[in-house]
Structure 1
Amino acid sequence: MYQLDAKIAGEIVRRTMKIIGHNINVMNGEGIILGSGDRSRLGQQHQGACEVIAKGKVVTIASHTALDGVKPGINLPLTFQGQIIGVIGITGEPDKLSHYGELLKMTAEMIVEQANLMDQLQWKNRRREEFILQLIKASAGDIPQLVNWARQLELDIHKPRVAAIIEVSSAQDDELKQLIQLLQYPQRDNLVAMTSLSQLVILKPAFLDGKNWSSDAESERIDRLLERLPTPSRRKLNIALGHFFPGDGGIARSYQSARETLAIGQRLRPGQTKYLYQEFESQVLLCELAGSWRGEELSRPYLALMQADKSGQLCKTLDAFIAAGGEPGACARALYIHRNTLRYRLDKISRITGLTPGNLSQLLRLNLAQLLLQSRPQ
């Protein structure tokens, strides 16, 4: 059974006293005053309300019949879903207030109904957010346990989705609310939840055309979202789009890929707002190795080069050589240097690292070392 609380009672008093210039009391199912224009009466038991609850009908108290401590007025039952949940009382002579009674009763019951709907909506939103937070951590083996929960929320747990993360710096509550509304309305079938005070996860339908996953199409949608945001809000956020993984457990992988894309993107390109998995795919795929002995061994040659290369010239040369696919002519042109100068630098790189950039497999080793160091948390 629904129970009145002091917050709802206070709201009823505040709104109904605007209608008439008389004091209003709101009592719960035990006749205790929870809300009143006369705050000194809060917490007291109202005898008229107790009589209303006992009889289940309107009780009027005229001044000539009022007992000590009881004020004249009209007391009406408040009902919700066919049950009396409390009483609303109007202080004053009943014959002067009779035309207000049903209006105030109806207003109060509407406030109760609205509060109940809001409670249900908030409860559903909390359950929905809890479900999303479980889903982004769920392995394939966890999915059967979440199926019933998804059904209660009227969600299709098997719908292909891709994760995106929005991180907001120094955002106000109203800015976060606006952002969530933009992500949810008009209806986009996005599942949105806050993973921290500064981070949102969005589980987006993966197939925009109903058939295929397209990172480029999602990137365009992100651009349109950013355009809809006010410029000050846009400057405060970073957004990362993960990769699409089909099948049960794919959403958790997608979320992990988005999280790692965000971390690596912010580190390597701090001036950007948007980071796509495809732009940092190699670093994301290698980041699990970064803290292992294998990762340390793979990255050792490039790390040695960084430590020996005080000016950064050799690292820049090696990066350009890798970008040119190991083609000396293309690399020399990109750096605006003579091929002999390039050869000299590559020989120096070889002596420091113990690897020969001109050897394809050893160049790959140096490339992996470079990517691993980029993926390593600072």
Structure 2
Amino acid sequence: MYVIDSAIANRIVQRTMKIIGHNINVMNAQGVILGSGTNERIGSIHEGALLAISQDRNVEINQDSAPSLHGVKSGLNLPLHYQGQIVGVIGITGNPSELAHYGELLKMTAEMIVEQANLQDQLQWQNRQKEEFILQLIRAEEKDSQQLTHWGNQLSIDVSVPRVVAIIEIESVSHQQVHNNQALKQMVHLLQHPDRNNLIAMTSLNQLVILKPAFLDGKQWDPELESHRIDKLLQRIPANMELKLNIALGHFFQGFDGLTKSYRTAKETLTIGKSLHPDKTKYLYEDYALQVIFSGLKQHWRGDALAAPYLKLVAADKNGVLQKTLSMYIQNIGDHKRCAAALYIHRNTLRYRIDKIQQITGTNLQDFQDLLNLYLGQVMQQT
């Protein structure tokens, strides 16, 4: 059964008192005045309302009968219905004979407000349920697929649709302090219109998670196609929002557990992407795959062992020259001529630096395994 609360009662009072120049009282199903144009009456029992509730009829109270009832003035009291049940009473203070033509209008107005409030409450409840469901999909380590399928059906969500996770993070760049909450609502609207069958939830005050259908062409996962879709979304963002957005797209994995993995890759892609390229807006897992994969080895003995030779170089190379040289050497696949040209140094200088790198790290850059070890250690440092 729907219950009228003080907020709804006050909304009815404010709305209806604009229609007529009489005091309005709104009582709940127990006859307690919750809203009134006369504040001192709030909280008291209205016996006229109790009579209207018990007999389910309009009750007129004139000056002669008013003194015999507690907490009552002359006027008209009309029961409010919602889905066939009495949920409260609206009372109009004044001469009943003069109020008759107002009664049904005010009753209809009040019942419409009750219905709107109930629908809004239902929508908010459904949205909360949907957000909780989405958070369970992306965060739960072990999932009960049968239970989640049943829950999804109740929310009209088809959990069999293959999905990939994206994260949108909002940073305000306006000097007028644009509120993140309002900006997130605008982003949700953009993501929902036109309808792309996205599932959206807030994971923090400035972050949204989106579970996007993964097969945009209806056949297979295509990150390049999804990247174009993100570009189109960015183009639709109004310039007056004055926001910096960071969008990260995770990797696609099959099955229920795949969403948890996809969410983790999206989170790590966002963190690593912002660290390496803070000037960018869009971060794709495919562009940071190695860094994301090896981020799981941090603070683990395997990661420590893998990064050990490169960390020796970091410790000895205070100005970063040798690290930059190694990076360029790897990018040019060991081609001394191209590497020296890219660094704007003489080839003899390059040979000196390479010898120094090998001496510090105890490796041979001509040996593929040693070079790979240094490269992976470099990747580990970027996570």
TM-score normalised over the length of structure 2: 0.94
Hey, what does 1:159 align to over in structure 2? 161
Deviations 1:322-366 (A, max 9, x none): 111223233223223333322221111000000111211111011
Does residue 180 of structure 1 match 2:183? no
Hey, what does 1:281 align to over in structure 2? 289
Hey, what does 2:26 align to over in structure 1? 26
3-state SS of paired residue (1:239):
strand
Q: How does 1:32-71 map to 2 (within 5 A)?
A: 32-67=32-67, 70-71=72-73
Hey, what does 1:350 align to over in structure 2? 358
Deviations 1:170-225 (A, max 9, x none): 54321121111111222121111111122211111111111121212211221222
Hey, what does 1:143 align to over in structure 2? 145
Please give the alpha-carbon distance, in whole angstroms, between the structure 2 residues aligned to 1:234 and 1:71: 56
Structure 1 position 249, deviation (Å):
1.0
3-state SS of paired residue (2:288):
helix
Aligned amino acid, residue 347 of structure 2: R
Q: How does 1:1-378 map to 2 (within 5 A)?
A: 1-67=1-67, 70-139=72-141, 141-170=143-172, 171-231=179-239, 233=241, 235-375=243-383
Aligned residues: 375
Aligned amino acid, residue 21 of structure 1: G
Aligned amino acid, residue 308 of structure 1: A
Please give the alpha-carbon distance, in whole angstroms, between the structure 1 residues aligned to 2:43 and 2:320: 75
Deviations 1:256-304 (A, max 9, x none): 0000001111111112111111111100011111211111121111111
Structure 1 position 235, deviation (Å):
3.8
Structure 1 position 230, deviation (Å):
3.3
Aligned amino acid, residue 108 of structure 2: M
Structure 1 position 169, deviation (Å):
2.9
Aligned amino acid, residue 327 of structure 1: D
Unaligned runs of 5+ in 1: none
Please give the alpha-carbon distance, in whole angstroms, between the structure 2 residues aligned to 1:269 and 1:144: 42
8 Å CA contact 2:181, 2:205 repeated in 1: no
Please give the alpha-carbon distance, in whole angstroms, between the structure 1 residues aligned to 2:8 and 2:243: 39
8 Å CA contact 1:264, 1:284 repeated in 2: yes
Please give the alpha-carbon distance, in whole angstroms, between the structure 1 residues aligned to 2:320 and 2:72: 89
Please give the alpha-carbon distance, in whole angstroms, between the structure 2 residues aligned to 1:142 and 1:236: 38
Please give the alpha-carbon distance, in whole angstroms, between the structure 1 residues aligned to 2:267 and 2:143: 22
3-state SS of paired residue (2:67):
coil
8 Å CA contact 2:170, 2:243 repeated in 1: no
Please give the alpha-carbon distance, in whole angstroms, between the structure 2 residues aligned to 1:172 and 1:198: 6
Runs of 4+ in 1 over 6 A off after TM superposition: none
TM-score normalised over the length of structure 1: 0.95
Structure 1 position 89, deviation (Å):
0.7
Aligned amino acid, residue 57 of structure 2: K
Structure 1 position 232, deviation (Å):
6.1
8 Å CA contact 2:79, 2:90 repeated in 1: yes
In structure 2, the CA distance between the partners of 1:140 and 1:326, relative to structure 1 (3 Å rule), is farther
Aligned amino acid, residue 48 of structure 2: G
Aligned amino acid, residue 38 of structure 1: T
Please give the alpha-carbon distance, in whole angstroms, between the structure 2 residues aligned to 1:280 and 1:24: 64
Paired-residue identity, % = 58
Aligned amino acid, residue 329 of structure 2: F
8 Å CA contact 1:162, 1:203 repeated in 2: yes
Please give the alpha-carbon distance, in whole angstroms, between the structure 1 residues aligned to 2:270 and 2:306: 24
In structure 2, the CA distance between the partners of 1:304 and 1:233, relative to structure 1 (3 Å rule), is farther
In structure 2, the CA distance between the partners of 1:238 and 1:36, relative to structure 1 (3 Å rule), is same
Q: Which moved more, 1:301-310 or 1:155-164?
A: 301-310
Aligned amino acid, residue 167 of structure 2: I
Please give the alpha-carbon distance, in whole angstroms, between the structure 2 residues aligned to 1:223 and 1:76: 57
In structure 2, the CA distance between the partners of 1:194 and 1:141, relative to structure 1 (3 Å rule), is closer
Please give the alpha-carbon distance, in whole angstroms, between the structure 2 residues aligned to 1:182 and 1:100: 43
Please give the alpha-carbon distance, in whole angstroms, between the structure 1 residues aligned to 2:268 and 2:227: 17
Structure 1 position 141, deviation (Å):
4.7
